[in-house]
Homo-oligomer: A and B are copies of this chain.
């Protein structure tokens, strides 16, 4: 086993060094255009200001939770071995810290890459693409390196997978708020900028006269770079953690534990190779470049893990199959998402056509296709969990659930590549904004547009991945919850739980309430964006009315004020929604007991997956329908269809960038809270 820890550390170190190399590579490109440099600094400062204030708030929250963990988790400190509580609390803090660090450095590189990417876009796709992609890769490598390092380190020191639950909870509680806070910030700015600039005044996207334009670009960074990085750090850690918790309870647990690390190590190596191969020719297609490097990574991962299975003792081919299945189902989910959101496919065209009958039809058709699009992914997750279970069942007791956990690990194995693709999006989006604001001319903006559109398409695929992985991970966390609960019940001398029967009224009770949580949670986030955007719209109107010469481009807008509003609003709105999820879990557990929590978690997964898929996909669909119309279809820009599509896009923005991806994290957080509190529920519930 020791050798696996060492290799994990070494691989993480390679990832960090490679990230450093890419960082220096990005940095050595010099920015020549002073205006671009100035604006890019404004964006950087805005992002850092937000992060600093967000992390300050979250640090207070994390410390409070750590104290709570110290006192009562995994057992009340006066009843158990206090070392466990101390270690869990420290692991929790380490999880939050690593998550914050990855986000922070991701933003550092992203705000470095955006200006450079914009400048290079003057000379065509090739270098601009590389700057965008490699900037994103720094974040991808850091996230995967940190998760591999963190998980290996915690397990090596403590030897207990259950303490990893604390580490994982740290990662996911920070992700919950980073995603929600960043998501509210970015959509506040985006929606307000679009409504006032584009719709009211007919300005172009990223017009520098718009007071919200810098806030909009800051939002891309804090929402899509830092938030998304935290999200996938969380998913990756949670997938490894749940696999390791189950692995430790197996007979032959050593080989199972080794497999988890081996697969994660090989996934990181495959991602590094994949990142190196990503390139686009002078007139090449950036979407194809991103996709083909994803396929390369997938293939390398499958080959490397097959080799490891053949060579290493105790590595099972059945597990390999499950993990391959998870990865392939992830790709399939991504592809169906692509079918529903890509503007070369029929659905986007249908919604664009419906838009010419008015905005109500944009909304109705987008909503409908969004709901339909959730079905293939749900079926895919259902099949992969059932098949992995059946494949791995014959290995021995408990291996069936381990198979599902390894399907999730497989799906997330190439996460380094996924994040690189995903972080590429906001960087080139920013580059497009800088090209516009810096006046680099039509030709450059066109190049930047092409890069940006590739980012949008690939984003859909990566979102499918992360939602699918969350689904599978949470299934295996359910197993972790049950085994934690049973060990608590055993100590208390109570009857063990042998499952969660739907016909048991407590389970059904939990199921119904759990299903309502993602709906309430996402609604609160959307309302947060709503309220905040209204405040910012008022501020923009104030600036246009009181700053002389602003409309004519002769005076500069007060960008800082808009950033300030987005920041304050996001911080104010991010806590309540997260608390609803956490507190309702504790309430159900303490009132109705462990069985109710089993139902609660499942209700939460099921409705959470449904809503996350619906929101992500319908949002992407509306965004691309608008872009499709802007490319001179259905009357093009300024037509009635376009006006309707802009409304659809505005509705879709908080769906796809605030609520949808946050639901993902909400599911994981709730599962981890339940696992951590399992012994308390077993001991203290009122009606359990």
Contacts and interface: CB of A to CB of B under 8 A. Distances in A.
Given A385-B505, A502-B598, A651-B363, A368 B512 contact: no
Contact of A654 (B364, B371, B478): B364
A592 B390 CA distance: 12
B357 A511 contact: no
B614 A509 contact: no
Contacts of A385: 505, 508-509, 512
A378 B517 CA distance: 10
B374 A610 contact: no
Contacts of A537: 357
A504 interface: yes
Given A500-B502, A523-B368, A527-B368, A358 B651 contact: no
A483 B501 CA distance: 15
Interface stretch (A23-31, A173-181, A599-607): A599-607
B526 A367 contact: yes
Contact of A379 (B191, B357, B513, B609): B513
A523 to B, nearest CB: 4
Contact of A375 (B482, B520, B614): B520
Given A195-B360, A363-B363, A516-B378, A369 B523 contact: yes
A591 to B, nearest CB: 10
Given A382-B513, A386-B506, A602-B511, A520 B372 contact: yes
Contact of A523 (B371, B404, B526, B654): B371
A650 interface: yes
A360 B519 contact: no
B651 A364 contact: yes
Contacts of A592: 386
A354 B530 contact: yes
B515 A650 contact: no
Contacts of A354: 530, 534
Contacts of A375: 516, 519-520
A503 interface: yes
How many of these chains are in the complex?
A: 2
A606 B609 CA distance: 13
Nearest to A389: B505
Given A390-B505, A499-B503, A603-B606, A372 B523 contact: yes
Interface in A383-404: 383, 385-386, 389-390, 400-401, 404
A365 interface: yes
A571 interface: no
A647 B650 CA distance: 14
A508 B374 contact: no
A504 B512 contact: no
A381 interface: yes
A516 B610 contact: yes
Q: How large is the interface on A (under 10, 10 to 19, 20 to 34, 35 or more residues)?
A: 35 or more
Contacts of A379: 512-513, 516
A199 interface: yes
A438 interface: no
A609 to B, nearest CB: 7
A381 B471 CA distance: 26
Interface in A514-559: 515-516, 519-520, 522-524, 526-527, 529-530, 533-534, 537
Among A400, A520, A522, A598, which residue has the most Cβ atoms of chain B within 10 A?
A: A520
A495 B499 CA distance: 18
A660 interface: no
A478 B502 CA distance: 9
Interface string A576-601: 00000000000000001000001100
A260 interface: no
A430 to B, nearest CB: 24
A409 to B, nearest CB: 17
Nearest to A614: B519
Contact of A364 (B360, B367, B382, B530): B530
Nearest to A596: B386
A359 interface: yes
Contact of A515 (B378, B502, B520, B534): B378
A26 to B, nearest CB: 37
Contacts of A504: 499
A479 B191 CA distance: 49
Interface string A185-212: 0000001000100010000000000000
Given A502-B478, A523-B369, A526-B368, A378 B606 contact: no
21 contacts: A195-B358, A357-B534, A364-B527, A364-B654, A365-B530, A368-B523, A368-B530, A369-B527, A371-B519, A372-B519, A372-B523, A374-B519, A378-B516, A386-B505, A386-B506, A400-B505, A404-B505, A498-B501, A499-B501, A502-B507, A512-B609
In the complex, the 7 A-B pairs of residues with the closest C-beta atoms, listed nearest first: A499-B501, A360-B650, A389-B505, A368-B523, A382-B512, A371-B523, A371-B519
Interface of A: 191, 195, 199, 354, 357-361, 363-365, 367-372, 374-375, 378-379, 381-383, 385-386, 389-390, 400-401, 404, 471, 475, 478-479, 482, 498-513, 515-516, 519-520, 522-524, 526-527, 529-530, 533-534, 537, 592, 598-599, 602-603, 606-607, 609-610, 614, 647, 650-651, 654
Given A385-B505, A501-B502, 10 more contacts: A195-B358, A354-B530, A363-B363, A364-B651, A371-B522, A372-B519, A375-B519, A500-B501, A519-B614, A606-B607
